């Protein structure tokens, strides 16, 4: 009996040593969770024995339980390195076409493979959800492999230009009729942006601002200049536009007044004309606020690609939409005693974009930045939890699978409900305490030695009994 008790103690001590050694060996394993050997005594009795004098039968290993408390953080420069701050697991699948066959992990060291899929070091696919681009909400909790396309979007021609500007009240006045975009002395300020045709070809669009000096190219029936309508010259600016193609900078006329059928016609007498170049006016009040823009009419350019004799700008568009026009909207322009300032200068066109950067926010949203300036939410990292973490079955590689004891997987989003937040550029280290593990190692070693000594003493007693004559 004594032999069996000592042997069970040695076996338990060996199990404790193995568990502690495994913890120490995985000190640098990302997402590793320490294990703890838990033991129970062996005790048996019967109706023929006295429970008050019965000794135990040794020790047995009840379980090797993993401890799922969080490990410390290690910060990296890789945005694909993820850490869960709080409860939850990432889900990874061996086959991207079978996401239902997945494993759970806290190891967030991911990267892009040759197909731009998000994978871990074992080539398993990170699972997540689709996101609605308009509402930024998950459309379905049906998991799928996450991918970051290296290209995004078909070309989109520019249609709307939005401008926010302050024009300096102290700017010297000039004659709009003498405007020449090749002569910087004929205008006060200019600014440019890149716009696109229907094939994604970029062009430089330039806006020129000329403070009116009171001159007018228009004459009445007697040949006298007509004063600007409804304003004084000190509070009026003329605005002209050009677009530059491969052959150089070309003037783009502005259509001025709507016709009866809703179309827009050129040649409004209220607009400034210089060398045949049609612009429009902006009038300001004495407090610097805008009074009117183009006399309240929409600002629409002539077709960019049509020849000049057909009412177009004559740009070389190489097969793109020749009838492309630009609708120009000013967002509360001002004329203050302050420097010239562009507060907004945007357009809605785009060329094909190439992947430039990937960011992942605390909700797990994967936001890709492309070379065309587009920021696209490609999906959201899926989060999983189970009712009983201790019931998870370890499969190695810092991964677990659900079991009947753990309960079914519960899918959700980071920062929602009981799920923790996702930290990009951070990894979760092993949660072991090296000091405690070394103390446990010494304790397990002493227990092993003590049980070995007990076995040795029991052996000596047996030898002594056998030698009695």
Domain ranges of the chain: 2-69+432-466, 73-152+354-428, 160-351
What is the DSSP pairing of strand 144-145 with strand 273-274? Answer: unpaired
pLDDT band, very low/low/confident/very high, at 405 (cuts 50, 70, 90): very high
pLDDT tens sequence across 35-48: 999 888 887 766 66
SS3 445: helix
**Which token pair is 284?**
């300001």
Q: Whole-model pTM above 0.85?
A: no
What is the arithmetic mean of pLDDT over 384-389? 95
Q: How far, in Å, CA of 375 to CA of 361, rounded? A: 13
The CATH class given to the 160-351 domain equals mainly beta
**Which token pair is 135?**
């509402």
pLDDT tens sequence across 286-297: 999 999 999 889
So what's the pLDDT on residue 104?
97
pLDDT tens sequence across 84-123: 999 999 999 999 999 999 999 999 999 999 999 999 999 9
**41 — phi, psi (to 5°)?**
-80, 155
Q: Rounded to whole angstroms, what are the CA distances from 375 to 152, 203, 221, 343?
A: 10, 22, 57, 21
What is the DSSP pairing of strand 290-293 with strand 58-66? Answer: unpaired
pLDDT band, very low/low/confident/very high, at 255 (cuts 50, 70, 90): confident
So what's the pLDDT on residue 134?
83
**177 — phi, psi (to 5°)?**
-70, -20
So what's the pLDDT on residue 432?
92
So what's the pLDDT on residue 333?
96
pLDDT band, very low/low/confident/very high, at 193 (cuts 50, 70, 90): very high
Q: Exposed/middle/buried for 262, CB within 10 Å: 0-12, 13-18, 19+?
A: exposed
Asked if 60 contacts 12 with a C-beta cutoff of 8 angstroms, the reply is yes
Q: What is the DSSP string of 320-343?
A: S-TT---EEEE-S-B--SS--EEE
């Amino acid at each position: 009996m004594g032999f069996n008790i000592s042997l069970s103690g040695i076996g338990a001590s060996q199990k404790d040593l193995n568990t502690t050694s495994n913890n120490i060996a995985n000190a640098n394993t990302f997402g590793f969770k320490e294990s703890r050997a838990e033991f129970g005594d062996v005790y048996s009795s019967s109706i023929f024995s006295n429970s008050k004098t019965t000794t135990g039968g040794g020790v047995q290993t009840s379980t090797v339980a993993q401890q799922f408390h969080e490990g410390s953080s290690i910060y990296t420069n890789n945005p694909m390195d993820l850490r869960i701050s709080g409860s939850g697991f990432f889900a990874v699948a061996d086959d991207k076409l079978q996401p239902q066959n997945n494993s759970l992990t806290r190891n967030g060291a991911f990267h892009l493979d040759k197909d731009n899929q998000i994978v871990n070091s074992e080539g398993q696919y990170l699972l997540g959800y689709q996101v609605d681009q308009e509402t930024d909400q998950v459309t379905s909790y049906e998991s799928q492999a996450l991918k970051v396309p290296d290209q995004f979007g078909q070309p989109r021609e520019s249609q709307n230009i939005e401008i926010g500007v302050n024009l300096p009240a102290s700017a010297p006045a000039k004659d709009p009729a003498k405007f020449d975009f090749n002569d910087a002395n004929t205008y006060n300020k200019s600014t440019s942006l890149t716009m696109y045709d229907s094939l994604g070809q970029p062009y430089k669009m330039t806006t020129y601002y000329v403070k009116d000096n009171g001159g007018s190219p228009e004459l009445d029936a007697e040949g006298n200049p007509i004063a600007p309508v409804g304003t004084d010259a000190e509070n009026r600016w003329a605005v002209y536009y050009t677009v530059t193609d491969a052959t150089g900078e070309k003037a783009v006329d502005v259509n001025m007044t709507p016709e009866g059928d809703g179309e827009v016609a050129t040649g409004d007498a209220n607009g400034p004309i210089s060398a045949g170049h049609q612009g429009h006016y902006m009038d300001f009040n004495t407090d610097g606020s805008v009074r009117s823009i183009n006399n309240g009419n929409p600002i629409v350019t002539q077709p960019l690609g049509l020849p000049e004799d057909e009412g177009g700008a004559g740009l070389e568009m190489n097969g793109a939409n020749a009838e492309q026009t630009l609708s120009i909207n000013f967002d509360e322009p001002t004329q203050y005693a302050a420097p010239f300032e562009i507060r907004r200068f945007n357009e809605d066109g785009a060329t094909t974009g190439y992947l430039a950067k990937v960011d992942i926010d605390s909700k797990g949203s994967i936001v890709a930045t492309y070379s065309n300036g587009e920021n696209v939410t490609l999906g959201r990292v899926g989060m999983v939890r189970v009712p009983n973490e201790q019931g998870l079955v370890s499969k190695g590689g810092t991964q677990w699978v659900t079991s009947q004891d753990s309960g079914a997987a519960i899918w959700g989003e980071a920062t929602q409900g009981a799920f923790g937040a996702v930290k990009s550029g951070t990894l979760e280290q092993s949660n072991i305490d090296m000091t405690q593990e070394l103390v446990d190692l010494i304790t397990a070693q002493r227990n092993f030695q003590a049980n070995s000594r007990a076995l040795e003493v029991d052996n000596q007693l047996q030898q002594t009994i056998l030698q009695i004559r």
